[in-house]
A and B are shown apart, each in its own frame.
Chain A
Amino acid sequence: MEARFINQIQIPKNPNRRFTRPPHDFPRFIRASSSTSQEPKSYRGPKPSKNLVADFVSRNDDSVRSLPIYVGGASLLAVLFNRALSGIAPVADASSSQSRADLLALGLAVTNLLTGLVWLSIRPKTITPIEPEGVDCKVLEPNLPASIVSELLWAWESLKVATCCKSLVIVYNGICLIQIGMAAKSPEDKKAVVVNTDKLMNGSVYQGVMKSKAQSYLANLSLYPGRSELPFLPPNTQAVILQPLGDKGVAVIGGNTIRGFTSSDQAWISSVGEKLDATLGRCFVDSNESSQETDQ
């Protein structure tokens, strides 16, 4: 079987490299630098200052959200109280300057109340992550070149750190290259369930992803009937992303939170998938060619 795989690294260079623009005068960067040393200076610039407000708000998200409601409600009562205290009838007309001041204060109180309500309504639902049941495993296909192994491990580390991913399985060219993270425990020998690549590749999940050539995000795995085709993932995996690697493989990424992968994560995962496809494709073309030569 000859697999001619043309190395396609589609990294479009910037088409508008404009070096023909007439130089503007940028007086700022013509700095007479008197340092002639070759050693780079160490960084002595300002360190970023801590933004206390931002830290406070992020930490006390819930109470800050309802703060404007309390402020607005309290001021509303205070205005009425003030009126009662000074013996003026609470009539909302703009006749006297007292009433006008009161009305303006009321308007502001209502603004605060409404803003507080808006903030409360857009509070994102907190979804707790669920610890996956299974065993930790790290299974790599033997005899892979070191550069491929480091690339696969790098992909796993990035996913682990930056997303809610807890399991990763990469199948390429019919071989399971890596199974790492949490995996389902097989009942017989209490070790990780081995990935059955034939079963996976003949299943509807894989076929669907290959046909559409697009990433498939199963945000709530328990609702998905194709769950049985991924037996190697822990049974309580909450979300799964299936990223096709070109048209020869797929990366199965399991997460521990329902809808845990944000749209930013999805974009990053598809970029990482393209890179893996480029790297793996090159490696497998080379090995195909070398096996062809040894056959002949």
Chain B
Amino acid sequence: MSVRICNFPSHPSFLLQPRSQSQTAARSTRIFARTENESSRSDQQQLNLSVLRFTFGIPGLDESYLPRWIGYGFGSLILLNHFSASPPISESQLRSEALGLSLAAFSTALPYFGKFLKGTEVEKRSLPEEGEQVFVISSSIGDSLKEDLAWSTYVLLRNTSTVAVMISIQGELCVRGYWNCPGQMSKAQLHDWFKRKTDEIGLADVKETLYFPQYAGSGLSWDVLPDGTRSVFVQPLLRNVNESEKVDGFLMVASTAGYAYSDKDRAWIGAMADKFRG
């Protein structure tokens, strides 16, 4: 077990000295250049935390799930105690056990609730093991548009936890990242292949943004996405035509981390989509 002082947003974990330290220890630090994707879920507030963090010192062990393990452990011990006790079991014991079991259930659910609180870290993305890394861009568009597409796909891959990005403008595609596509196809063939696939899914006229933070549980199965995709976000590209908005295409990003796109990420992705507006 060890105690270390850390200066970045931390998981909810057991503190050594809960309240007294948190008020005095909040130093404001200069924000260092981002090295990993640490997007906080709070919109306008910057987290500047110095907390004493209690950790077992085992790398890879996530202490924020400790209530869940304790819930499982103690809950099973309560059941064991119940069944190993010789009858008659007194009513007060039954009451205690009922209380203990409901507490265990609540503790198990706590890390799930904690995930939605402000100030928790977003999971890091992991690169998919299978799937090809591709960069396909349609050849029948102008150079400045090509440059814009190349830059926005690059920036989306770099600044968010995206592993796969696809932008479609009036049928012309730019695809970058890890996708589940066949290898050994020429660029033009790959472009047509992706176009066929997205036409089948039917994203060409999606009118509102779609955000699937838990892709696996949503009933979707878009084969083009790489294995291990857990969040998908689709943003339509609109064009103002005589006071009405027509859908020009879409921008799709996928990530291997769950709940990967916070409000701020989605706002920036919307800003990227606006670049291709009309």
Q: Which residue numbers of A lie inside 8 Å of B, CB to CB?
A: 9, 11-14, 16-24, 26, 28-29, 31, 33, 35, 40-49, 51, 53-54, 57-58, 61, 64-65, 68, 71, 75, 78-79, 82-83, 85-86, 88, 97-98, 100-102, 104-105, 107-109, 111-112, 114-115, 117-127, 129, 147, 154, 157-158, 161-162, 164, 214-215, 217, 219-220, 257, 259-268, 271, 275, 278
Q: Chain B residues near A44 (CB, 8 Å)?
A: 202
Known A-B contacts A51-B213, A108-B71, A259-B46; the reply to A43 vs B203 at CB < 8 A is yes
Name B184-206 residues within 8 Å CB distance of A.
Answer: 184-185, 196-206
Interchain nearest-CB distance for B205 vs A (Å): 5
Q: Chain A residues near B200 (CB, 8 Å)?
A: 31, 33, 35, 41
Known A-B contacts A111-B107, A126-B45; the reply to A64 vs B113 at CB < 8 A is yes
Known A-B contacts A119-B12, A121-B18, A271-B159; the reply to A109 vs B103 at CB < 8 A is yes
> How many residues on chain B are close to A (CB under 8 Å)?
111
The residue of chain B having its C-beta at the shortest distance from the C-beta of A15 within the complex is B133
Interchain nearest-CB distance for B13 vs A (Å): 6
The residue of chain B having its C-beta at the shortest distance from the C-beta of A118 within the complex is B12
13 contacts between A and B (CB under 8 A): A14-B134, A17-B133, A20-B184, A28-B180, A82-B96, A98-B93, A104-B81, A105-B96, A125-B45, A161-B270, A264-B34, A264-B159, A278-B151
User: Do residues B114 and A119 form an inter-chain contact, with CB atoms below 8 A?
Assistant: yes
User: Do residues B206 and A43 form an inter-chain contact, with CB atoms below 8 A?
Assistant: yes
User: Do residues A111 and B67 form an inter-chain contact, with CB atoms below 8 A?
Assistant: yes
B140 at interface, CB cutoff 8 A = no
User: Do residues B202 and A43 form an inter-chain contact, with CB atoms below 8 A?
Assistant: yes
Q: Chain B residues near A26 (CB, 8 Å)?
A: 180, 182, 223
A-contact 0/1 string along B97-129, CB 8 Å cutoff? 101100110110010111011110000000000
With beta carbons under 8 angstroms apart, the residue of B96, B185, B275 that contacts A102 is B96
| Bound CA–CA A261/B18 (angstroms) | 28
A-contact 0/1 string along B129-151, CB 8 Å cutoff? 01011110000000010010011
B28 at interface, CB cutoff 8 A = yes
User: Do residues A83 and B92 form an inter-chain contact, with CB atoms below 8 A?
Assistant: yes
Known A-B contacts A98-B93, A112-B106, A267-B34; the reply to A42 vs B130 at CB < 8 A is no
With beta carbons under 8 angstroms apart, the residue of A11, A20, A29 that contacts B223 is A29
Q: Chain A residues near B71 (CB, 8 Å)?
A: 108, 111
| Bound CA–CA A41/B201 (angstroms) | 7
A-contact 0/1 string along B68-101, CB 8 Å cutoff? 0011001001100110110001111101110110
Known A-B contacts A9-B147, A54-B116, A119-B117; the reply to A71 vs B106 at CB < 8 A is yes
B172 at interface, CB cutoff 8 A = no
Q: A108-B70, A124-B47, A264-B40 are in contact. List 10 more A-B contacts (CB 8 A).
A: A21-B183, A29-B197, A40-B204, A41-B202, A46-B218, A47-B210, A97-B89, A101-B78, A161-B270, A278-B151
A-contact 0/1 string along B263-278, CB 8 Å cutoff? 0110110111011000
B176 at interface, CB cutoff 8 A = yes
Q: Which residue numbers of B lie inside 8 Å of A, CB to CB?
A: 9-10, 12-15, 18-19, 21-22, 26, 28, 30-34, 37-40, 42, 44-49, 51, 66-67, 70-71, 74, 77-78, 81-82, 84-85, 89-93, 95-97, 99-100, 103-104, 106-107, 110, 112-114, 116-119, 130, 132-135, 144, 147, 150-151, 154-155, 158-159, 176, 180-185, 196-206, 210-213, 218-220, 223-224, 264-265, 267-268, 270-272, 274-275
User: Do residues A65 and B133 form an inter-chain contact, with CB atoms below 8 A?
Assistant: no
The residue of chain A having its C-beta at the shortest distance from the C-beta of B199 within the complex is A40
User: Do residues B182 and A112 form an inter-chain contact, with CB atoms below 8 A?
Assistant: no
| Bound CA–CA A120/B117 (angstroms) | 10
Interchain nearest-CB distance for A253 vs B (Å): 14
Q: Chain A residues near B99 (CB, 8 Å)?
A: 75, 78-79, 82, 105
| Bound CA–CA A294/B116 (angstroms) | 62
Q: Chain B residues near A85 (CB, 8 Å)?
A: 92
The residue of chain B having its C-beta at the shortest distance from the C-beta of A106 within the complex is B100
The residue of chain B having its C-beta at the shortest distance from the C-beta of A121 within the complex is B22
User: Do residues A31 and B223 form an inter-chain contact, with CB atoms below 8 A?
Assistant: yes
With beta carbons under 8 angstroms apart, the residue of A23, A65, A98, A118 that contacts B184 is A23
